[in-house]
Structure 1
């Protein structure tokens, strides 16, 4: 990068005297810059023309000239970074920023939030960690799940304005009377992000690739074959009816990438840059549904932007846009809600922990002040009294006569708020004569966790997507938690019950039946929710169209920026 090299050379010239005027020879300057005398003369001329310094040479070889500095390396770096950001040169800006992590917050503030860049509306979002690769199938991170939905399309999709899935790559679908054959009619105007026409054979190929993944095979256990019965029709033949099928196909894990190029999709935004420091999306001009109003969305992976006391945790009440420094007092809350997702406690009942003892542990959590007194930031969580709206938890009083086991083992994974919850529970059980051994699984899911098989208690986080009932069905069908919490006969019964639920054609009947399944798990003291999160999105003035989704993000296709002034548009 030429601009970075010029800055490094300027820093070498400036460093010995810390900016004070210098009497120095050309040979000495060449030695500082690790270059020839001829090249250092070129550097001096270029720097003087740019207004960085003044160089007054003395005639005669070995004579000392006078070097005066008109700026500092820090000021010059800031100037270069500003120019790179205004010109949309993200990589140059990031390379310059690496030289100034302490000043990064101040440098980036004017460029975060909504900006018009070269007549293109761009939204920059600061983020606290690098994003995981967007692999096919299940993803642990909420941000990654959201990103997949912006880049890739499915046969169906979820909409905030509809309780049922709507058409996406398929403009409509129909099922046979017996529910065993489903026809999805594919749009004829689809294009991949590289401009190629989407072929029905490519969609079939990608679907079959997804079904080779073990957990995806569990999700689509009812699928027998996927065939092309017409140039624009995909037909699913099932072993047994599954009226969740349109929901399964709309899930983020079922969205379809190009079969030969997994980074290419057909969603509203195409993936332009995916690096540890920067993720950039650009609008897909041939998108088959409503076109985005933003030209680009960027994630700036800048941990330095976040306060040290936040650690590496993701604050769930996220502020995803930051405006200019002079706008900070105007930063406004544009959307907020209580998450439907929840942190939970699952209890494995055995000779070590009976149902009565498990009920006492749950009563200890919900019928005391344990949840209300967790030392967490105000307005971060709210204790649960129901699993989902209208699905109340059982009302047990704490039975002081039911002696707890002498020892128990708890394992938990992220989010980090469960560190606090685990410690509070350990202290509460210790006060009642039970020693709790606590194990932390440093991940967002139970995948690859051998200790799960021997723990008595498990704590984790259950994200809830656009359709709560379906998301719970998917969780109980696919999450390795249940194979470890339940005995083999209990797990087989759960799966058979879920199969019976999915055979019900009526949406309300399926939801009611699923409530019965979840209520059984709560009544048997196998599962209890702990708390929900407060989702909040704040934005500077001028960022419009933000509507909070169930995952705590917002649909990038709905966001928009007002027209910029002539001065800003030309930047």
Structure 2
């Protein structure tokens, strides 16, 4: 009731008090005017005014006699009330309404900046009292990326994949640091000499969040579901048969050798789902999915996604009791990114260590930003000379210098390597103009699609192309829209970032996953050639052989101009030294499970 009354106070303040020199100045107004402003009857206006007087927000002086107008005195300063109201909304997890309120009532005031500053203290690690009974350790993270899907079979984005890893497990896990596959839901595995038959032996005593023990039947159901038209069905395209070979053993037969098939089984897409719940009501299941992971799905709406700890996790309980992912609206601007950089800190320790002693973790992402050219659509991009001209027009080093932030190095291919900091990528405007003339380019505009996250890069590229007569029309789409094949096919080119969470597997994924921008834009003939190369690579006995073969595909992409490799980026996370267990996952996010706080006493 008080929140509603406060919003109505702001409505009246904006309607009758804006422009008045100071709070406390009487304003002449009638009940009819107030009723019109609040869209209610005069009777309800009197109730609202009485409530505001009780809160000491206003003083109401009714007019006495004919021709004497009533007077309304506003006693609370608008910005103070607006900030307090937005803060209370945020504390309840209502981030979008809070920003909408500020946008409506705070135009031209510093409230938005003050609210953003307050949010930086709101986020991070905090010990909170729950229901006045027990303390819980919570981590609150602001993001400007919404979850598109939690269905492992259809995941396209790194953020979604990271959330899936919190809720679900796979048969095995790939340790990128050690460069090896380690046990997960399967405690052991083996293959035949030809790598065409693989067996995985399941752990005992692994339970889904809803209390049912995981069985071989759940694993087979999940893999068969993945094969049936999901975006990641490519992972199992050579599978002939999936069956049990004993009570807790899964046997998978392949049509072709795949010596890294166990790494395929570590992909988030192969997460094991509970057959009973999915088959019972799949639509309801995805509103609050149940897995075997370290965290369970809680509240999920347009403002936030809440993870609560799985106390019975087979691989050890997480130290955190929960994680709140707060979806920041566009009105928040770049503040959430700034907040993310100084995110992991304990509010109880903030005065005990100066900020200068915080630990900063900087990681160079295993991937790049890039442009893919749509070879399935008529347009200037059909000319290899045109595509090469655009590549030469883009001066990556100037782009890095002018745009700054997380942009680190010019990209020659998908991954950074030891020579990346030293490598200079060719930029030649004169040659580019000559190629444009030779290609017969007639000024036809090209459409570049991207998300809000890459808009600065897109505008920079469009400006440089425009300087040389190439018209670029930019269209911004959100992640949900990019799930639609027709949106991908309408673009002449798409600017996006690719991340190789699992080096070889993710590289293959970019050529084979349904909905991959690269795959959808490549000519069918190129895709068929690439698939044959991939099959040869999977049959190879060493990683060196696989790298050489996959390198042939990447070289052809670059030489024929199917892709414009742009930049390699970094991630930065600063955290208080009292926070322990901070590691970055291969997906570029903090692994939530092992985060914990060391108190000032060292306990």
Q: Same fold (TM over 0.5)?
A: yes
Of 284, 291, 294, the residue aligned with 1:265 is: 291
Q: Does 1:330 align with 2:355?
A: yes
1:520 positional shift: 3.5
1:294 positional shift: 1.2
Distance of 1:130 and 1:211 partners within structure 2: 27
- After superposition, where does 1:64-75 map in structure 2 within 5 Å? none
Deviations, residues 538-567 of structure 1 (Å, cap 9, x unaligned) = 3456443322334321111122223489xx
**Gapped runs of 5+ residues in structure 2?**
18-22, 61-71, 130-134, 279-284
Q: Is the 2:365–2:571 contact (alpha carbons within 8 Å) kept by the matching residues of 1? A: yes
Distance of 1:126 and 1:426 partners within structure 2: 35
Distance of 1:419 and 1:8 partners within structure 2: 39
Q: 1:347 to 1:68 in 2, by over 3 A?
A: closer
Equivalent in the alignment of 1:115? 126
1:318 positional shift: 5.0
Moved more, 272-281 or 131-140: 131-140
SS state at 2:398 partner = coil
Equivalent in the alignment of 1:383? 410
Equivalent in the alignment of 2:307? 281
Q: 1:169 to 1:413 in 2, by over 3 A?
A: farther
Equivalent in the alignment of 2:209? 193
Q: 1:316 to 1:105 in 2, by over 3 A?
A: closer
Q: Is the 2:172–2:181 contact (alpha carbons within 8 Å) kept by the matching residues of 1? A: yes
Equivalent in the alignment of 1:321? 343
Q: 1:268 to 1:416 in 2, by over 3 A?
A: same
1:275 positional shift: 0.9
- TM norm structure 2: 0.73
1:175 positional shift: 0.8
SS state at 2:155 partner = coil
Distance of 1:162 and 1:35 partners within structure 2: 72
Equivalent in the alignment of 2:518? 481
- TM norm structure 1: 0.76
Equivalent in the alignment of 1:132? 148
Aligned length, in residue pairs = 537
Distance of 1:291 and 1:377 partners within structure 2: 42
Distance of 1:271 and 1:21 partners within structure 2: 51
Distance of 1:547 and 1:474 partners within structure 2: 25
Distance of 2:14 and 2:369 partners within structure 1: 53
SS state at 2:535 partner = helix
Equivalent in the alignment of 1:404? 438
Higher helix share: 2
Q: Is the 2:142–2:340 contact (alpha carbons within 8 Å) kept by the matching residues of 1? A: no
Distance of 2:338 and 2:565 partners within structure 1: 17
Distance of 1:269 and 1:127 partners within structure 2: 19
Of 319, 329, 332, the residue aligned with 1:293 is: 319
1:505 positional shift: 3.6
1:227 positional shift: 1.3
1:110 positional shift: 3.1
Moved more, 125-134 or 99-108: 99-108
Distance of 1:561 and 1:306 partners within structure 2: 29
Q: Does 1:495 align with 2:537?
A: no
SS state at 2:152 partner = coil
1:281 positional shift: 0.8
Distance of 1:143 and 1:298 partners within structure 2: 14
The one of the two structures with greater contact order (alpha-carbon pairs below 8 A, sep at least 6) is: 1
Q: 1:537 to 1:34 in 2, by over 3 A?
A: farther
